[in-house]
A and B are shown apart, each in its own frame.
Chain A
Amino acid sequence: MGTQPEPKEVADHLIVTIADHIGDGHKVITGLNSHVPLLAVAVAKIIQGKRVSLYTVAEAFDPDLESVKLKPSTGDAALAENATVLPMIEAFDLVQKGEIDVMFLGPVQIDEETNINLSVIGSYQRPKVRLPGGAASAFIVPLVKRVYFWRTKHTPRDLVKRVDFVTATARLSRNEVYLFTNLCVFNYDRGTAKWVLKSRHPWADPDQIRTNTGFEYVTQDDRVTRSPNQEERELIRALDPNDLRLRAFM
């Protein structure tokens, strides 16, 4: 059983893993409560030099991320101080036109069919836990070219056989679906309709991933994700000096 490092190490590692999956030329949307994805986009653009068009829920189009200091809200209106305003309603028109490459979503539960739950634990009408709601997810999950789910707690209660409530699903789409967790990276294979373990973080061993995953998946090969380099670590710290990104990992 691997020992998980400090939250800061896990967070920065996961941010860089996600950044490594953002492609040159991608059009990317980030939503509320999205410190980890926003930092991943910053790493992809600033350190890795990828040309990425960023549509933020703050309605700032391609804000200057180098000067950002993250706040508790990733809807921070100040992101538009030095950027043009592109309303989310127009970004979502681009989604409907099939022009957006990547959307990031942080589900509470995710299952073997790419169904995600951000609505309720228990029944909808009298929930045990009422969650915040799926925001754009029902709409956007089937429509973007790539869906990037991220979950900082990889346990059998989070990665389940069947979600309590299907807030959104990629099941009826043909798009690419990735799941990034604190242990590994999964990609959904449309041919076999199964999740495939693509790579694991250095601290996660295959048995640990198996025991912590509530659905069946296929292991393709035993690849290990790379650790952040110094430049990437420094950028993440500069943009998030108050360590807001860590809360999700506690």
Chain B
Amino acid sequence: MKLVEMEEAVELVTEGSTVTISGISFYRNPMAFIFALERAKTKNLDFVDREPGVGLEYMIKKGIVKRVRAAMVSLEWFGIPMNFRRAIERGEITFLEDTCGAFMAGIRAGSIGVPFMPVRGVLGSDLIKLHEENGSWRVIRDPFNGDDVVLVKAIVPDVAIVHCHRADPLGNAEIEGPVYEDEFKAKAAKRVIVTAEEIVDEDYFKGKRPTIHSTYVTAVVHAPGGARPTGMFRLYDADFDAIWDLLTR
């Protein structure tokens, strides 16, 4: 039984932790959890993700994160996220730019317990120098064919927070529609917090493969509407007006 209140789950994220969150840009961000982090006055987090948007921009606005690693931080049609942009230009946070395929390789390596994963492409990009200095990538010679190849060090976040459609009290969780790398984030992270629109009983998952298996999950929180104002597939759409208010007020 891993079902806990939001306030208890938030305590799993300690100062200086590296966190990753579910979703992308305007969809399935664990917003209820992020609002709880804000209430708990949690600070100084490291953040790693592929293409974050609303959730990260809000955390930057509230001073919750200090270091960010992502392939892109975008509000798409609304332009460059202004808190993200300002915080970097003023040197208030550091930003390590990633690229999607490399993030995927790194989180996959973390998820299966190997030290690194090769990724194709990327060669010739100035990102390589940044990551070699940071210790997160290394260019080596492929021992089999002699070509240069980029290795991505396993990404192992301290905490993954994943908002799902439903979960049982043991932590088995199901996501409908787009899944992004959420399964890999959950497997890679040391602790996993599932927030769920609905809590179902254990019978629901019998004979099924959950999107995220309970064996990876530390805590489950019942959080109906927990992605609002970002969108939740088939339950509610992204509320673009509310998002704009949230990020600019």
Interface of A toward B, CB cutoff 8 Å: 32-33, 35, 57-60, 71-78, 80-81, 85, 87-89, 92, 95-96, 115, 118-119, 124, 126-143, 165-169, 171-172, 244, 247
Contact = CB atoms under 8 A, between A and B. Distances in A.
Nearest to A131: B80
Contacts, number: 175
B-side interface mostly:
loop
B72 interface: yes
A207 to B, nearest CB: 32
Contacts of B240: 71-72
A88 B88 contact: no
A71 to B, nearest CB: 7
Contacts of A143: 120-121
B25 interface: yes
Contacts of B84: 130
Interface of B: 24-28, 51, 70-74, 76-78, 80-81, 84-85, 88-89, 91, 95, 97-102, 104, 108, 119-127, 130, 177-181, 184, 231-234, 237-238, 240
Contact of B77 (A35, A57, A142, A168): A35
10 contacts: A73-B76, A75-B27, A75-B76, A78-B237, A89-B104, A96-B120, A136-B100, A138-B102, A138-B125, A142-B122
A213 to B, nearest CB: 22
Contacts of A72: 26, 76-78, 240
B231 A77 contact: yes
Given A75-B25, A124-B130, A168-B125, 14 more contacts: A32-B51, A32-B76, A57-B24, A59-B177, A75-B24, A75-B26, A76-B27, A81-B234, A85-B177, A138-B121, A139-B100, A139-B102, A139-B119, A141-B121
Nearest to A96: B120
